[in-house]
Amino acid sequence: MRVAIAHSNPKVRERIAGLISPQGHVVRALTDCSWILDNLDGPRRPDVAVVELTARAGLDDAVRTLCRAQPHVYVIAVVPDLKATFVQTAYEAGVDDVMSARASGVEVAGRVGALTRIRRWVGSMGVGFASSDEGFDLAALGVWNDLPSLLSSEFSQMLGVKLEIRTVDVLPTLAQSAEIQLTLASETSTASVGIGLEESGAPGFGRAVFGEEVLADVLADAIREFANGAGGAIKRGALTEGYTFSLGLPKMVPPPSLPDDSQVFELHHEDLHLWVWASGGAAKPSRVAASLLKEGMVLAREIRTQSGTLLVTAGSVVTERTVARLVRVVGPTALVDVLCAA
């Protein structure tokens, strides 16, 4: 693991670094958290941050910002001693663990060893801190790798026929297409899944869904529903792996221009042909005032009161009730980090 130690006392940081380095971890000793905050999104991002808590100043704003960072960095506060007041201050600020500046070598070795084990099972559940060496990739999801067979099964059940799968390189010219966005807030990743019809495939799709050929606007409603079904199937599959996707609303879109790493395939049965595509990428949170939140947005980070009480968890889909509560408790101008899945 990569461990950053931010402490103003050179003797303390050098002592802790000297205890951790022999365990095979990459250790960087710093006077404050500035370097850590500057590298949260880069390849040098640490897995663990050991930070200072003093009797005089407590935890400064930089440490509080670090505690709220996503993906999460595991934060350990070094306290003068393990008095209840120090421990309470640290945990209320959002740190994950505390240790005394006088901790023995055996204790420090045990803590870091425990973190190595925690990292394995937390990573398998898709929550908690993400390793700088093992950055999240949608390809790591089994459900993402099995997407063609998953959606073939889902749509076959919806249509009552067995659909065959054919992988293709590009989409044909589509007459109608709908897309749904999924957001994995714990890893700030997004995915888009779409479904489309060629002009020649509209009659076959209409007959398969409604038993007869139907008007274009009726087809559009059905295509949106199939996109919604695709999102639901992925969400259920990912949940079994410990990942929770938030779904946006399915909507009609023009035929997309897809990234090179997108999945594109055809599901077909006799004269029924459905074209499906899926792509993913890193999501960039944006900040909006609480009063400007809209239903369907996904919260990128948890929201707490000034006293530390949790109001809404990261990954929650915004509802009217969410907006009303936040406006009432934190105020209409409070800034909220969101991933706009709606």
Domain range list for the chain: 2-125, 138-282, 286-339
pLDDT at 280: 86
Per-residue burial over 239-252, b = 16 or more CB atoms within 10 Å of its CB, e = otherwise: eeeebbbbbbebee
Residue 128: is its pLDDT beyond 80?
no
Q: Tell which wins on pLDDT, 67 or 71.
A: 67
Task: List, for residues 219-238, the tens digit of each pLDDT value.
Answer: 999 999 999 999 999 988 88
Task: List, for residues 153-203, the tens digit of each pLDDT value.
Answer: 999 999 999 999 999 999 999 999 999 988 876 666 788 999 999 999 999
pLDDT-based confidence at 135, cuts 50/70/90?
very low
Is 329 exposed, middle or buried (CB count within 10 Å of its CB: 0-12, 13-18, 19+)?
middle
- 2-125: CATH class: alpha beta
Task: List, for residues 277-286, the tens digit of each pLDDT value.
Answer: 999 877 777 8
State whether residue 228 is helix, strand or coil: helix
Phi, psi for residue 223 in degrees, rounded to 5: -65, -40
Q: Would you identify the CATH topology of the domain 286-339?
A: Molybdopterin biosynthesis moea protein, domain 2 (3.90.105)
Residue count of the chain, please give it: 342
pLDDT exceeding 90 applies to what percent of the chain? 31
Strand bridging mode 48-52 / 74-79: parallel
Q: Tell which wins on pLDDT, 70 or 45.
A: 45
Beta bridge partners of 332: none
pLDDT at 57: 45
pLDDT at 158: 93
By C-alpha distance, which of 110, 119, 226, 125 is closest to 177? 226
For 111, half-sphere exposure in the C-beta direction (CA atoms, 13 angstrom radius) is 23
CB atoms under 10 Å from CB of 114, counted, come to: 11
Could you give the C-alpha distances from 120 to 1, 115, 130, in angstroms and in order?
12, 9, 10
Strand bridging mode 2-6 / 48-52: parallel
Is 293 exposed, middle or buried (CB count within 10 Å of its CB: 0-12, 13-18, 19+)?
buried
The domain 138-282 belongs to what CATH superfamily? CheC-like (3.40.1550.10)
Residue 121: is its pLDDT beyond 60?
no
pLDDT at 133: 38
Which tokens go with 43?
A: 């390849």
Q: Tell which wins on pLDDT, 11 or 118.
A: 11
How high does pLDDT run on average in the chain? 82
Are 174 and 197 in contact, with CB atoms under 8 Å apart?
Answer: yes
pTM of the model: 0.56
Q: Which residue has the tokens 């044909």?
A: 172
